[in-house]
Structure 1
Amino acid sequence: MEFTIFHYLRVLFVFFALSSYSFVVRGDKSSLLIVDVRSFGARANDHRDHTKAFVAAWDKACKSSSSSVDLIIPRGEFHVGPIKFSGPCTNVSNLTVRVKGHLKASTDLSKYRSGGGWIEFGWINGLTLTGGGTLDGQGPLAWPFNNCTTDSHCKLLPTSLKFVGMNRTIVRRISSVNSKFFHIALVQCRDFKGTRLNITAPSDSPNTDGIHIERSSNVYFSRSHIATGDDCVSIGQGNSQITITSIICGPGHGISVGSLGRYPNEKDVKGLVVRDCKMSGTTNGIRIKTWADSPGLSSATNMTFQNIIMNNVTNPIIIDQSYCPFSSCSSNVPSKVKLSEIYFKNIRGTSSSKVAVQLHCSEGMPCKKVYLENVHLYLASSYSSGGGSGKQESSNGGSEAVSSSCRYVRAKYIGSQSPPPCH
């Protein structure tokens, strides 16, 4: 009789759990609340807008009394957005959002605010975003409306995945395709780790930066593949202790610091490490870019770029302190961004242009303490790749085929150099 009652209660529990997609799993010390968007009316592959269902599921997850919550977005296609997942989630110390499905962004641009996000997480402690799912920004329908290359006051299209004011965040095993603007952006985040990300958009897609970081600290991105139409990674103003490692970049514009010095009251950049990355077919490799005629003083210091492989990169190493992406730029006033303590170590591979190293600093604030150690770059047309290892073979020596160009900087050279140092 006891077995029969136990069996009945177990079947009843499973029935209610599966019918509501929301239930609590109790452990010895705490409980895990599982919330599924299907509990709130979301249905995969039905082409309806599921924004309200996602918001309701988030509301239940964030306001839970459980210390640990899993929010499930199952397999299948869901149309959503724009959508904000906002905290604080007072009682929840570990909140995991498992995106297993394919999310598609709304193509109605009137729904988005300028500079906003499609999917935005804000003011949350202890978030994990994972699941192997895909965020599809449906960018091809929006890119024709991007006029930012000709209009400095343009309306910004939405970033696909935006994080604002976050602490202790983990993002892993997420794909982003065809963002309308940036794929991923961090603003005022601390202790952020992103890994095993796959980011793709066509090489001619405008302003589709893979990862943009601004006013954040203790950020770590690794083991990701980024192929897009703008910077694979861009490090904006106000950042400290940023590590970028094991990134495969290309096509795209490389890994960039900046642009810096465009706006008043920008904060300094300090403590950047970029290591063990590979650039293939990009317009730039490692780039530091600052605007001329900066409205205020700022600096970027203590930056290390190490163990980087360049494969047919147009500008493998470039400092540009007269940066301007617009069709016409007239300012002759030097940049007020001070660059110092910059280390380029073990940079090797091929350049598609004859100027492989370009260090063009500000006349008003020349670069200080710039070091190049064991830089081996050769003209791509003269060399054949050594199986992706960074080793090249040539019958003509080839080192004279590439050159360096320097302005307002006296770099220090360590070890062997190709191209030859600036005189």
Structure 2
Amino acid sequence: MIAMTTTLNAPSSRAQDTRQVSEPRLPAVCTVLTASQVYAEGLRQLDTARIQAALNACPAGQAVQLAANNEKDSFHSGPLQIPSGVSLIVDRDATLYASTDADLYDKGGKTCGVNAQKGRTCTPFITIDQARGSGIYGDGVIDGQGGQLVQGKSETWWQMARRAQREKNEHNIPRLIEIKKSQDITFYRIRLRNSPNFHVTVSQTDGFTAWGVKIDTPADARNTDGIDPISSRNITIAHSYIRTGDDNIAIKGGNGGATENVSILNNHFYSGHGMSIGSETNSGVRRILVKNLSLDGTTSGLRIKSDVSRGGVVEQVRYEDVCIRNSKRPIDLDTRYDRTAVGDKIPTYKAIVFDRVHSLTPGRIVLRAYDQAHPMYVSFAQSSVAANSPQLIQFANLQIAQKNITVAEQAENLVWDNPSSSVCANRFADFPVHTPFDFRPQLSSQQAQAYTIENVLRSTGPADKPLIDPWNPLSDELATATKLPVDYVVDANALADGKTQFNTVQAAINQAVLDGRQLLAAKSKKARLYILVKPGTYRELMYVPATAVPITLYSNESDAQKTKIAASAHAALLGTAYSHRYAAQFAQVDPSIQEMYASLKDRPVIGTSGSAIAWIRGHGFQAKNITFQNTYNKDQVDTNAECPNTVCGATAGTAPVVVVQHQAVALMVEGADKVQFENVRVLGFQDTLFLRSSAIAHTARSFFHRSYVEGNVDFIFGDTTAYFYRSEIKSLGDRSTSYVTAPNTNVRTPYGFVFNEVNFTHDGSANALAGKFYLGRQWFHTQKCTPYATINVASYRCTLADVDAYQAPLGTISKKVLETVGKTVILNSSIGEHIHAQHPWADWNKKGSLAFRPAQFSVADFWRNLQQAGLDPVQHLGYDSMESLAPATTGIFLSEFNNTHRVLPAAVSLQKNQVSEVK
């Protein structure tokens, strides 16, 4: 074997981009646009006008950001022009689709989308022309839809190109992105796929960086080059992944001038025609560095191609640390690219260096210069070629192992080093497939064991110092006994005695509070007081303070609808209006109850927590066979009703209020532990059931068995630990969007809401049957600004501080709010067709709004989101590590296990292995 150890000409210091290039950073955002379409439902509208308008209005140095809005992740556009200094950012879960309407790209001759003798009559999808400092960024996708039928035609763009090849004419097909006569253009992390024609051309440009770009188009898609620098200088393409149907990269020196000073660094190529130079080289190509490249499955590997119709000088090209496998022509330097070409532009290749280049599998080695008067000059150092590799070598001056070898006519028997098995170990990376984020994570069987009743309800108290207090409410007499004791009776139609017989529920509770205090003082062994409520509707509020002896409230009627506690209150109700309605009810009650009333009556408006019809503070409280209803808009719904603030009540400075849209709580459990509900019904619209801890990261437990809760928006919400077992949760469709849960569990609290063997149903309304409701969104508690996204406010910033505040454009957010992550897990349940099948968990509001926070499924998401917001979890928030913050199963925020999901006949099937499906 002949060792290849020497180098030839062209020092590497000159063969590269002359700029100092480092990893780019995302520019500031001027405007966030959220998607309004779902690809699976069809792209029915064009977003061209609003995207272009945002780009045109964006100041230089900033970017327009395209963002997903829950399941709405698609933008659909005709041709776009990116102005000088302006950039486009496509977020990770968003995709910008190029329209397939050929007329939108036509340059005026009505030939775009038509095969003809003349080509290039289509405008590209995205143009950057005579710009400085523009770019395209983000982890999202720009999709050219090359494999989709062209609108109004029976062919795709790619099929049209293949037909043109057979018919020997030109195909008029749009390129994806063209950069022309520009300076310092940057592409960073963006994913480009399915281009109808070339993905990126960079023409007559000084300064172009592509870093971390992924290009992905099928191997049989004709003329879909990855990135083509043409008559340009100072180009860096780094850390990128390219698989396509033509040249992965093609460096061209055409009529517009030479291409020079190019660095191709740390890249991976897959299907395609290789790392190419040419075929247009007539103006020259020089000072090219290709370093640390893997090519796996390209038809050619390292390729220089030209012919006499377009040839010129290609010189000072260095290939360093390159690994090639599964290539038909791993080294392919050919001056007769088109053997039928005619002309006098003879290609000349000189000062070409292969240093540590290894071809691992057999493939043809081509080193073919034009003639003896125009030889090529090539050097090989520490390089190797697989055995049994055919050779075509003509008119080549080679330097191998410190020996000069001249091939005057043709050689086919040069001996090369055979690569060792370890020479390219770990050099071939898998293509980073764009896997959509899993918006429906599933627990493993082992993880699901942590969500049994015994485990979830095992402890109480502060999360950092939990009190182990095993509790199994299914063994309590509330669930097991056929008959319960009676201490008090509530009957609206009976004569009350004020001791054991009462006409109102609140009066009975008041007496139980008084008696319980005496029992405690007397050290009585009586562990509980029982209130029997006779059937009927009790139109009153029900406040249960902290009690000395726990209270059980129940009816003997198994149909909970027959025994109802109902009243009307909403969050915007004026304190004076609340006092007018309910002062008499609390005039002669125990001070502990009166304190609850007094805490609301002097408020300007009573707020969400003040709207509760049943308000529970007593540990160990129980209810059975009872309905709790907030009748606000339940008795008579008028979705168009409006009223002035002085009548309806509203927060200061607001406009007239739409009545139907207020929070109105039916049942609130506040800070009470071991609260148990058996066969109860909780009825409302927005914020029906509020489960509230007494302190941050403090576990208080509630249990709902054989119960029913209904509502429309955030109708089960709060930060406690609550277990729902063998119950029904119904979404009402009076609004087009519905969220079942809105947890704001602290990140350290082990469990939030757990639903096990629960039936999630709907009311059969048109809104529900659209299949776009959500299981929940994580309540971004008391937020004033968001650090998780840019807001459409100039110079906006949201930074960490002790308080939550915002005065445009600056805001602060507290650690307390950041840590209210929200936890909900659903197991062994039936989920109705009203819930979005692929995207059942929603962000908190849409990106671009002050109230935005992305859905976070685990502590890993929480940690990563903090980092992406510029907050170091260790340095800024004082966490030891992610594992210490939420170990094991407590690191799960949102998840499911073994659920069935009924889907509408027209709905898209769920992804395989996500959840089982019931037809």
TM over 0.5: yes
For the structure 1 residues 108 and 115, does the alpha-carbon distance in structure 2 shift closer, same or farther, using more than 3 Å as the test?
closer
Residue 98 (str. 1) matches residue 108 (str. 2):
no
What secondary structure, in the 3-state scheme, does the structure 2 residue paired with 1:54 have? helix
- 1:129 aligned to 129, 133, 136, which one? 136
Question: How many angstroms does 1:185 deviate by?
Answer: 1.4
Matching residue's letter, 1:277: L
Structure 2 Cα separation of the partners of residues 373 and 84 of structure 1: 46
Change (3 A) 1:214 1:59: same
Per-residue deviation, 1:419: 5.9
**Who is 2:158 aligned against?**
143
Aligned to 2:277: 257
Change (3 A) 1:405 1:33: closer
Q: Secondary structure at the match of 2:326?
A: strand
Matches within 5 A, 1:225-304: 225-237=241-253, 238-261=258-281, 266-294=282-310, 298-304=312-318
Counterpart residue identity of residue 300, structure 1: V
Q: Is contact 1:160–1:182 with CA below 8 Å preserved after alignment?
A: yes
Give the aligned partner of residue 194 of structure 1: 210
Q: Which residue of 1 aligns with 2:381?
A: 373
Deviation at 1:166, TM superposition (A): 2.0
Match for 1:74: what amino acid? A
Q: Where does residue 650 of structure 2 map in the other structure?
A: none
* Change beyond 3 A, Cα 1:32–1:330: closer
Match among 166, 184, 191 for residue 175 of structure 1: 191
Aligned-residue sequence identity (percent) comes to 22
1:205 is aligned to 2:246: no
- Establish whether residue 342 from structure 1 lines up as the match of residue 352 from structure 2: yes
Q: Which deviates more from structure 2 when the two are superposed, residues 45-54 or residues 222-231?
A: 45-54
Counterpart pick for 1:420 among 415, 418, 421: 415
1:97, distance to aligned residue in structure 2 (A): 2.2
Report which of the two structures shows the higher radius of gyration computed on alpha carbons. Answer: 2
- Mapped to 1, the partners of 2:126 and 2:95 lie a distance apart of 13
Aligned CA distance change for structure 1 residues 405 and 109 (closer, same or farther; 3 Å): same
Tell me whether 1:48 sits opposite 2:45 in the alignment.
Answer: yes
- Please tell me the residue identity of whatever aligns with 2:261: Q
Tell me the equivalent position of 1:116.
123
Structure with more strand by fraction: 1
Superposed, 1:66-105 pairs within 5 Å as 68-75=61-68, 76-87=73-84, 95-100=86-91, 101-105=94-98
Q: Deviations over 1:82-139 (max 9, x none)?
A: 222233x5xxxxx442111201111122322425311112222122421211011111
Which AA in structure 1 matches 2:136? L
Q: What secondary structure sits across from 1:339 in the alignment? A: strand
The 2-side partners of 1:33 and 1:331 are apart by: 50
**Which residue, 175, 185, 189 being the options, matches 1:159?**
175
Which residue identity lines up with residue 177 of structure 2 in the other structure?
L
Alignment partners' CA distance in 1, 2:195 and 2:235 = 22
Q: Secondary structure, in 3 states, of the residue corresponding to 1:139?
A: coil
CA contact (8 A) 2:224 2:246 kept: yes
How has the CA–CA distance of structure 1 residues 121 and 50 changed in structure 2, closer, same or farther, with 3 Å as cutoff? same
Code of the residue aligned with 1:308 in structure 2: it is V
1:13 paired residue number: none
Pairwise CA distance, 1:148: 5.0
Contact 1:167 1:192 in 2 (8 A): yes
- Note if contact 2:195-2:217 (Cα within 8 Å) is conserved in structure 1: yes
Q: Name the CA shift for 1:227/1:32 in 2 (closer, same or farther; >3 Å).
A: closer
Q: CA deviation at 1:300?
A: 1.3
Distance 1:112 1:70, change over 3 A: closer
> Tell me, what secondary structure is at the counterpart of 1:124?
coil
RMSD value, Cα: 2.6
Query: Matched residues in 2 for 1:333 and 1:126: separation?
Result: 39
Q: Distance in 1 between matches of 2:169 and 2:193?
A: 26
Rounded Cα–Cα distance in structure 1 between residues aligned with 2:172 and 2:414: 40
**Conservation of the 8 A alpha-carbon contact between 2:126 and 2:177:** yes
Question: Normalising to structure 1: TM-score of the pair?
Answer: 0.75
Alpha carbons of 1:322 and 1:138: their partners in 2 closer, same or farther (altered >3 Å)? same
1:285 Cα shift?
0.4
- For residues 115 and 185 of structure 1, what CA distance do their matches in structure 2 show? 14
Task: Give the Cα–Cα distance (whole angstroms) in 1 for the partners of residues 348 and 168 of structure 2.
Answer: 24
Residue 365 of structure 1 and its aligned partner are, at CA, apart by 5.0
**1:414 Cα offset (Å):** 3.1
Q: How many residues align?
A: 345
SS in structure 1 at match of 2:189? strand
Counterpart residue type for residue 133 of structure 2: G
Q: Equivalents in 2 of 1:402, 1:133: separation in Å?
A: 41
- 1:64-98: CA deviation from partner (whole Å, max 9, x where unpaired): 4xx642311112201001222233x5xxxxx4421
TM-score normalized by the length of structure 2 = 0.36
Structure 1 position 352, deviation (Å): 3.9
The verdict on how the C-alpha distance between 1:419 and 1:200 changes in structure 2, with shifts beyond 3 A counting, is farther
- 3-state SS, counterpart of residue 396 of structure 2: coil
What is the match of residue 405 of structure 1? 392
